[in-house]
Structure 1
Amino acid sequence: MKESSKRLTGKLVLMIQDDGVLADYIGAALCDAGAYIIGPARTVAEARALLPRLRNKPVAVVVSTKLFAADDGALRNGIGRLAIPVLIIGDGNGRPLLPLPRHDVLTVPFASHQIVDRICSLVGAVTIAQLRARTGPVLQGH
């Protein structure tokens, strides 16, 4: 198991993603890093219905620019009320993004490790350097 694989252990991440393949890819990367996924909500209506029913507050949300573009503002406002970091998944079409506090943008294509790195950066999760400092060097073959 890679030492970077547990950087998000036990953290909840809300996913709002309309592309099923991309949702699976992002979800697998986050789960491999130890996170739990809430969702994915695949439409604005699903996301709006999910937000007020959250039992536990997630540490971040991953959301598609397509769904932001299809929203009349209620989804953005609901995410804003959570006051958590947002990772926006762009499709490269240059849609304007409304200002959000603590957000980052990834444009497809991207590698799975970039998802984990960006979420860790947004939420202040443990970095690889911090893991090494805690555990010391790994002894091979012992």
Structure 2
Amino acid sequence: MHILLCTTGPEEHSKVFSCDNTKEFWHKLEVVHEGTNEVNETKIGLLNLNYENFKMDLNEDIKTVFNRFSIIVNELKGFGDVIPEDKLVRKLIYSLPESWDSKKTTIIEAKNFKEFKLDELIGSLLTHELMSNP
């Protein structure tokens, strides 16, 4: 237990100092850093809600949209909720606003979603954005 105490910083030290054994100590550190199962389930639920409701804002560029999307997807992946790439591609396409309808239609008609990669989609959307806003 002394070794564990030596590895904690001042903020953590005050939270675990009163523990009587290493199991209690470890459990307290686990709860402080990772949360309880209930907290994790709530985080996953909120991330899934953010994923389901994800939409591109009208004044956003593709890089910003992709960064926001990636954060949600990577956090879900960190909790073990891995979304297949074809679903990510579909979700990102359908999250585009009406002003992108012609590009969405072109991509949907021209590509097989099972083979279309997220990087390819981002490249295509970035090219379209550059060509639309010279």
TM class by shorter chain equals under 0.3
Q: Larger C-alpha radius of gyration, 1 or 2?
A: 2
**TM-score of the aligned structures, taking structure 1 as reference length:** 0.23
Greater RCO structure (CA 8 Å; 6+ sep): 1
